[in-house]
Copies of this chain bind each other. A is one copy, B any other.
Amino acid sequence: MAQTSWKNFFLSVFDYKTEKYVIAKNKKVGVLFRVFQLAVLLYIIGWVFLKKKGYQERDDSIQSAVITKLKGVALTNTTDSGLHLWGAEDYVIPPQGERIFFIITNFIETPNQRLGHCAESIKVPDGHCRENDDCTEGEAVISGNGIKSGRCLNSTGTCEIYGWCPIEKQHKPQEAILRKAENFTVYIKNFMRFPKFQFSKSNVLETNNDMYLKKCLYNETHHPYCPIFRLGDLTSWAGHSFQDMALMGGSIGVLIQWNCDLDKDYSKCNPRYSFTRLDVKSDNSVASGYNFRYARYYKDATGQTYRTLFKVYGIRIDIMVTGEAGKFNIIPTIVNIGSGLALMGAGVFLCDMVLLYMMKKSTFYRESKFESAKYESIRWKGKRRELKAVSEDGTPRRQDTWQGKFIELAPTKSEVNS
């Protein structure tokens, strides 16, 4: 016996239980629901699958290495240092080909500075003085060039300082000395890797023609895979004039985007370049430029140190690499379909609300949808087959609804089962 019941139980486990539906012959709600279904379907197919490629596993933790190299020489002629030839080893800082680098386009040179006493610049407010008491000895001049010695110099009206003398000439540059930097070229090598898919690629065109990379110049339409950029082009693509930027300096962002669909061919995975100026304010006015100082130190025959100070203005290039790769995978496909279908639940909820509470015949639909299963002893009166079903609020329902007449009604299953 136990065996039989176990067998029955086992068999019943493999009965398929499906939800019972009530067909509400209400076209309004029906159309509403179909429209909702269609919207969900369109959303799943159009947005999730076609646009967002929801059938793909994604990897956005791109690993990337950038190496840069600049080419070009320029001759400058200044009163301080005469004719001078600038090569990449001079105008690129740092020289080792970093992802972020700075190209000198303008400079103020202050040669042969030695430690000693001299007058603070008239342009430094904190250095102004009338008498010696204004120049407390040993105090640093705020935003100045040295330490006050305690003396006020009448000739300039500023404190005497101990520092590197002569001090830098404080004037705004009127013209970019290295304006020919416009024609320098940057060679950007970018190796990237998507670790999840073991996929790696470089932005350098794979060609057998070695000369191509020596001569080509990036151009979005004609040479999209040539990673050599003219400086003047970089700035103009970012929407600014090179000569304007060269004067006071600025910052250009070069964004390399790798958006790769690895279900497609290897050759379809290519970088896209975009260029923005980074040091602009929201109102598109340009911030005050980009400059810094560095010094070259020398020793004379007696071992005394002297130096040449450079205040350099220039263009800082910041190469940013982002990317995302996708490849077909069954798990996200299932998950996306599943959660899309889950959205239908919202539609069912909505349509049910409309049907059950906002239609004229809502009461009828409510009673069709909801079947009472209150466990109660049934009042069945012998052979006369007088039956009083009990409505949800406890009053005899069928009699009530059937206009006061007694009619023969079959007991509902719940009544029979009681």
Q: Note all chain B residues with C-beta closer than 8 A to A361.
A: 375
Chosen A-B contacts, 20 in total, with CB atoms closer than 8 Å, are A12-B392, A17-B21, A17-B23, A22-B370, A25-B374, A83-B115, A85-B163, A87-B164, A93-B95, A98-B100, A202-B279, A202-B281, A296-B297, A339-B339, A364-B418, A368-B413, A371-B413, A408-B410, A410-B410, A412-B413
Q: Note all chain B residues with C-beta closer than 8 A to A282.
A: 200-202, 206, 266
Given contacts A279-B189, A293-B87, A338-B342, contact A20 B355 (CB under 8 A): no
A107 within 8 A of B: no
A172 within 8 A of B: no
Of the 9-residue stretches A128-136, A150-158, A237-245, A298-306, which lies at the interface with chain B?
Answer: A298-306
- Indicate if the CB atoms of B351 and A63 lie closer than 8 Å: no
- Indicate if the CB atoms of A411 and B411 lie closer than 8 Å: no
Question: Given B183, B204, B335, B385, which contacts A343 in the complex, CB threshold below 8 Å?
Answer: B335
- Indicate if the CB atoms of B18 and A24 lie closer than 8 Å: yes
Nearest B-chain residue to A13, judged by Cβ = B34
Q: Mark A5-35, 1 if CB is under 8 A from B, else 0.
A: 0001001111111111111111101111110
Q: Note all chain B residues with C-beta closer than 8 A to A296.
A: 297
Q: Note all chain B residues with C-beta closer than 8 A to A194.
A: none
A105 within 8 A of B: no
- Indicate if the CB atoms of A147 and B85 lie closer than 8 Å: yes
Residues 295-319 (chain A) with a chain B CB within 8 angstroms: 295-301, 303, 305, 309, 316, 318
Q: Note all chain B residues with C-beta closer than 8 A to A266.
A: 282
Nearest B-chain residue to A412, judged by Cβ = B413
- Indicate if the CB atoms of B17 and A24 lie closer than 8 Å: yes
- Indicate if the CB atoms of B15 and A27 lie closer than 8 Å: yes
- Indicate if the CB atoms of A338 and B331 lie closer than 8 Å: no
Number of copies: 3
- Indicate if the CB atoms of A67 and B14 lie closer than 8 Å: no
Q: Mark A324-359, 1 if CB is under 8 A from B, else 0.
A: 000000010011011101111110110110010000
- Indicate if the CB atoms of B16 and A33 lie closer than 8 Å: yes
Q: Note all chain B residues with C-beta closer than 8 A to A251.
A: 65, 67, 191
- Indicate if the CB atoms of A279 and B20 lie closer than 8 Å: no
Q: Note all chain B residues with C-beta closer than 8 A to A164.
A: 85, 87
- Complex Cα distance, B24 from A272, in Å, reads 57
Question: Given B88, B147, B352, B373, which contacts A22 in the complex, CB threshold below 8 Å?
Answer: B373
Q: Note all chain B residues with C-beta closer than 8 A to A352.
A: 18
- Indicate if the CB atoms of B16 and A351 lie closer than 8 Å: yes
Q: Note all chain B residues with C-beta closer than 8 A to A375.
A: 25, 361, 364
Q: Note all chain B residues with C-beta closer than 8 A to A41.
A: none
- Complex Cα distance, B372 from A17, in Å, reads 9
Shortest Cβ distance from residue A112 to the other chain B in the assembled complex, whole angstroms: 7
Q: Note all chain B residues with C-beta closer than 8 A to A112.
A: 303
Q: Note all chain B residues with C-beta closer than 8 A to A15.
A: 23-27, 30
- Indicate if the CB atoms of A22 and B12 lie closer than 8 Å: no
- Indicate if the CB atoms of A402 and B416 lie closer than 8 Å: yes
Beyond A25-B375, A297-B298, 20 additional pairs, beta carbon < 8 A: A14-B30, A14-B31, A17-B24, A18-B348, A20-B20, A20-B21, A22-B373, A23-B392, A63-B255, A81-B305, A83-B115, A85-B162, A94-B94, A202-B281, A202-B282, A206-B282, A206-B283, A266-B282, A367-B414, A368-B373
Question: Given B21, B97, B318, B409, which contacts A65 in the complex, CB threshold below 8 Å?
Answer: B318
Given contacts A115-B83, A355-B16, contact A287 B24 (CB under 8 A): no
Given contacts A143-B214, A365-B373, contact A401 B414 (CB under 8 A): no
- Indicate if the CB atoms of A193 and B17 lie closer than 8 Å: no
Nearest B-chain residue to A340, judged by Cβ = B338
